[in-house]
A and B are shown apart, each in its own frame.
Chain A
Amino acid sequence: MSYFLRFVQRYPVFKFLPIQVLGILIGVHFNFPLIPLYILFGIFFLVLFTRYFQITLPIIILLMPILVLQTGDSQNNSALPTGEVLIEAQVEDIQKKRNSDHIILNAGKKRILLQMTDTLSFLPGDTLIIRGKLKIPQSPRNPGEFDYGGYLQSQGIQAIFHRDFSIMEIIEGRSSVNRWFFMMREGIHHRLTEAVGHPYAGLAAGLLLGEKSGIQVEMKEQFRQLGIIHILAVSGLHVGFVLLVLTVLAKIAVLPKLYRFLFITSGLLFYLGISGGAISVMRAVSMAILYTYGNFREKEILPWSIVGFTAFIFLLIDPSQLFSLSFQLSFGAVGGILFMLSQFRKLTENNEWLQSLRRHTSFRWLMDALVVSFGAQLGTFLPIALIFGEIPVWAFAANLVIIPLAGLAVVTALIISLTLPITTVLGDIYGQALWGELFLMDKVSLFMNHLPVQMISFHGWGVFPLIILFVGMIALASVSQNRYRFRSMLVCLLLGNFFIWTHILESPQFTVTFLDVGQGDACVIEDGEHTILVDAGYAGFGKDYGKRVVLPYLKHKGIDKIDLMVMTHPHADHIGGLETVLKKITIREIWDTHNDFESSVYDRILKGAEQNKSTIRYPQPGDIYQLGEMKLTILYPDSAIAMSMKNINNSSIVFRLDYKDHSFLFIGDAEIQAERILANLDSLLNVDVLKVGHHGSSTSSIMSMVNHVSPKYAVISVGKNNRYGHPSENIVQRWVDIGAEVFRSDESGAVIIAVDGEGMSINPMIP
């Protein structure tokens, strides 16, 4: 505590930062009437410059974010019109993506994202008149899925034009800084591409401009896996390198102090412009400018103070940034680095051996690099573990090699982009050099990708255990505060123990999750120990629900092995996604039917199963399969029947699942022919939850079967606006009439059924 107080005393901005953060938290969690809030703020503002300054200023700082947040909320309520609209909007930014251009439009105070596949030539500042269908970005439809809507929302984007729109008119805008920088950026991009060439042109643009569209998917994945993807997003690291180059240039030119300051500042602002002006770059550039200004004014620079002040100002402008990942990563990394450096310095002060090592320049460099790398990793641990659920193991070793290389590459790329027009020979030489640097980066990261154990998984840990782990790590790293260190570590260990024991004693939860895989089926059954997957969604024509939905879900739940996979029948909308799943997840046993269906997807999956060393079984009616407390009873089909069916849907595996006194029926795509046979089974069909046959088609759910099943809940797995017209209104009505509550995946997204001590509960993703 005294350590904290000393810290606050030393850096005045940290007197206000906690108050501001408190204000933000209050503003997000509570609602206040706006007008009294404004009046209160006004009163305090009026008495701000009186002798009560010491009290009024903190109150103002507390009120400010509440005010900004709540005013923003009330504006959001007056949302954009959706559906068919005619809208006039100004182009704010154009972002190249892999398959399309993302155009950020500004319509009044709202932002709209326009996804364009064909290129039209317009620049930031132009005004577009668009007629089309305005859509609200989707919230995630499955657990573990990337929250694209939330991501757009964090950028202030509230609606999307996608496919159904036409641009009626383009009104050319006046020339502006924004426009000029955009053209400059395009020019540099072009120049870099020409100088570097295949296959590293994309990587060069990514490094210097943060322009990721040209980088191969595998290379990006390779960087992500290693935890060094951050070098491809322009950030503090890049700005640091640019600052270094500018400082050296200013020194070589022997500029007087004022000119040096102006030169470095304008250079930084120029880089901000050409790198697209992302908020993370703005933050880093602000810090760099504050640093340069302090130096100009001959002030000794305390890094904590500059970092704190930048955070304070950016939160003042937009308080909601506190919750953005980019903000957390930026300040987490910087804070972690500063913390580790100060701890390490104190450690060396009292350690003869370390001091003797530090006399060697190379050791000193290596030690500092290690400390910085570790600090950045530590500082970003919490947001990364919470959001991605896994921490790359080798990141901090990789950073040691990759960051100097990246720095070199950024500097070379900067030189190329600024000098190439003067002499092409020189440009060519630099181009070759850059190619070499990028080649090295690629190969080193490729090599490190082959090291064992890439990720430590924190899936399913929950927030509090992670926070305790984080605090424990901070305590462990606080080498200079030995007294507090052991005490706080002890507390963390005790709390950690508490969590582990409550976790063990807690009865495992049984869940059945009907994933939303569009037009297709996929369902995951878990009892906390075993996992069963029934179908895996569609794959083909550029879509792969295995990759998009099933794998992320399994990852989110921390599942890396499946005990049983049921392929109800080999249609692509049921087994397509399995191909990708087989590549990433161990599957012990696969159920299939005897059939003469032939398709390339089916062949590939059977081959994949062979490579996965999965056992393939052909279950027969009457078979009973026990997994923990789950009992699976196979009802259909007999191999002979399966072979005789012309319509492969009718050879779908049908089984009943019993867990304690709850029962489920999975019926695949079984249609009338199969259902007639099933209907003979009478009470065996009677269950609590049914996955409705064949996506609710009118060719399934015959009356005799409906009567026997009479479920509490009926789940229809179906895609929006599918070309088959599923589900049939009559069939939905039929299930409602029998007394079932019907859930449709096209309306409610994934449907999660959980069983605990108190009984069964059903939760759709979209209520």
Chain B
Amino acid sequence: MHSLLESFEQFIYPQYCNTCDTPLSEVEQLFCSKCRVNDIQFSKLGNWVRQLKTHKNLDYAHSFYWFGEVIQAYIHHLKYSGWDTFLPRLINNAIRESELPKQATEAVLIPIPLHRVRQRDRGFNQAMVIAKELAQQWNLKLDDKMLKREKYTQSQTKLSIIERQKNMYMAFHMLKDAPKAVLLIDDVLTTGSTVDACAKQLRERGSTWVGVVTLATPKIKKIYR
């Protein structure tokens, strides 16, 4: 019965690899296994907080993957079509490969919030989806009621580092006192201006150790670091 449904689905929804256009099997999604393996690579950066352009308030930074075509596609589908089955798998794989610093064993996970207008527009916060998964895997507390995004900021992809910092100035606001150790969670980390703005707020309200963990980071770093 199950296979009948699946072959039926394959008839109506034939799937092709987004990179090499070969037909996909029932278990593959968006990309064929070959292209996926080629594209998804662990960054193996370890703690790279020193390499961030903006890291005044940060103690730790880690990104699981290099931000490639595949991850971009999954984040896109998570944002716009609400697909949420692939991401947990991606995170599970990554956690096995990476270790947390000892300061983070008691940390509270905080997803970088979206502005409420954006959140309503999308229906959910992709950072929240990642944070939930991580909280479960690491057995840490999750708090998404602590930090609020006050300023509606435009997309930062075309902004320079100075502009980004200006853009993020006073963008976040704390609603209550912060715990001692905090891990901020987001989908992609580039210059660090967004997380650093968050960290600044957290430190003002009592945090002593602030780290950031993201799903991915772009490989071409020269312009940022």
A→B interface (CB under 8 Å):
10-13, 250-252, 254, 257, 260, 290, 294-295, 297-302, 305-306, 309
Contacts and interface: CB of A to CB of B under 8 A. Distances in A.
B116 to A, nearest CB: 12
Interface of B: 9-16, 18, 29-30, 77, 81-86, 120-124
B25 to A, nearest CB: 13
Contacts of A10: 14, 16
B122 to A, nearest CB: 7
10 contacts: A251-B121, A252-B120, A254-B123, A257-B82, A290-B12, A295-B82, A298-B86, A301-B13, A302-B13, A306-B12
Contact of A300 (B30, B84, B122): B30
A251 B11 contact: no
A176 to B, nearest CB: 30
A300 B13 contact: yes
Nearest to A247: B123
A251 B123 CA distance: 4
A298 B84 CA distance: 8
Given A250-B123, A251-B123, A299 B11 contact: no
A309 B14 CA distance: 12
A294 B12 contact: yes
A607 to B, nearest CB: 63
Given A10-B14, A257-B84, A299-B15, A252 B123 contact: yes
A294 B9 CA distance: 8
B152 to A, nearest CB: 17
B115 to A, nearest CB: 15
Contacts of B10: 12
B135 to A, nearest CB: 18
Contact of A12 (B14, B29, B123): B14
Nearest to A249: B123
The 8 A-B pairs of least Cβ separation, nearest first, read A251-B123, A299-B13, A298-B83, A309-B12, A294-B13, A12-B11, A295-B81, A254-B123
A305 B124 contact: no
Contacts of A12: 10-11, 14
Nearest to B85: A298
A671 B212 CA distance: 106
B14 A302 contact: yes
A295 to B, nearest CB: 5
A305 B82 contact: no
A13 B12 contact: yes
Contacts of A297: 9, 13
A10 B24 CA distance: 12
Contacts of A13: 11-12
B4 to A, nearest CB: 12
A251 B84 contact: no
Contacts of B14: 10-12, 302, 305
Given A10-B14, A10-B16, A299 B9 contact: yes
B39 to A, nearest CB: 16
Given A12-B14, A252-B120, 12 more contacts: A10-B14, A10-B16, A12-B10, A12-B11, A251-B82, A251-B120, A298-B86, A299-B9, A300-B13, A300-B16, A300-B18, A306-B12
Contacts of B121: 251
A11 B14 CA distance: 7
Nearest to B6: A297
Nearest to B29: A298
Contacts of B11: 12-13, 309
Contacts of B123: 250-252, 254
Contacts of A260: 82
A305 B12 contact: yes
Nearest to A301: B13
A301 B16 CA distance: 10
Contacts of B85: 298
A77 to B, nearest CB: 37
A252 B123 CA distance: 5
Contacts of A11: 14
A260 B123 CA distance: 11
A260 B84 CA distance: 13
Nearest to B21: A10
A295 B85 CA distance: 12
A305 B120 contact: no
Among B14, B29, B121, max chain A CB count under 10 A is at B14
A408 to B, nearest CB: 19
A305 B13 contact: yes
Nearest to A294: B13
A251 B83 CA distance: 13
A254 B82 CA distance: 10
Contacts of A295: 81-83
B11 to A, nearest CB: 5
A251 B13 contact: no
Nearest to B124: A254
Contacts of B124: 251, 254
Among B16, B81, B82, max chain A CB count under 10 A is at B82
A447 to B, nearest CB: 35
Contacts of B86: 298
A257 B84 CA distance: 9
Nearest to B123: A251
A450 B50 CA distance: 69
Nearest to A13: B11
A470 B67 CA distance: 47
B118 to A, nearest CB: 12
A730 B173 CA distance: 103
Nearest to A251: B123
A302 B23 CA distance: 13
A505 B67 CA distance: 69
Contact of A251 (B18, B77, B122): B122
Nearest to B18: A300
A227 B15 CA distance: 38
A300 B12 CA distance: 11
Contacts of A302: 13-14
B36 to A, nearest CB: 14
Among B11, B12, B16, max chain A CB count under 10 A is at B12
A632 B83 CA distance: 80
A295 B86 CA distance: 14
B23 to A, nearest CB: 9
A300 B123 CA distance: 20
Contacts of A301: 13
A260 B83 CA distance: 12
Nearest to B84: A257
Contacts of B122: 251
B81 to A, nearest CB: 5
A49 to B, nearest CB: 12
A388 B128 CA distance: 56
A294 B8 CA distance: 12
A755 B223 CA distance: 85
Contacts of B83: 295, 298
Contacts of A309: 11-12
Nearest to A250: B123
A252 B13 CA distance: 27
A297 B84 CA distance: 10
A254 B129 CA distance: 13
Nearest to A309: B12
B111 to A, nearest CB: 15
A10 B86 CA distance: 25
B192 to A, nearest CB: 27
A306 B13 CA distance: 7
Contacts of A294: 12-13
Nearest to A252: B120
A302 to B, nearest CB: 6
A469 B121 CA distance: 45
A12 B10 CA distance: 9
Contacts of A299: 9, 13, 15
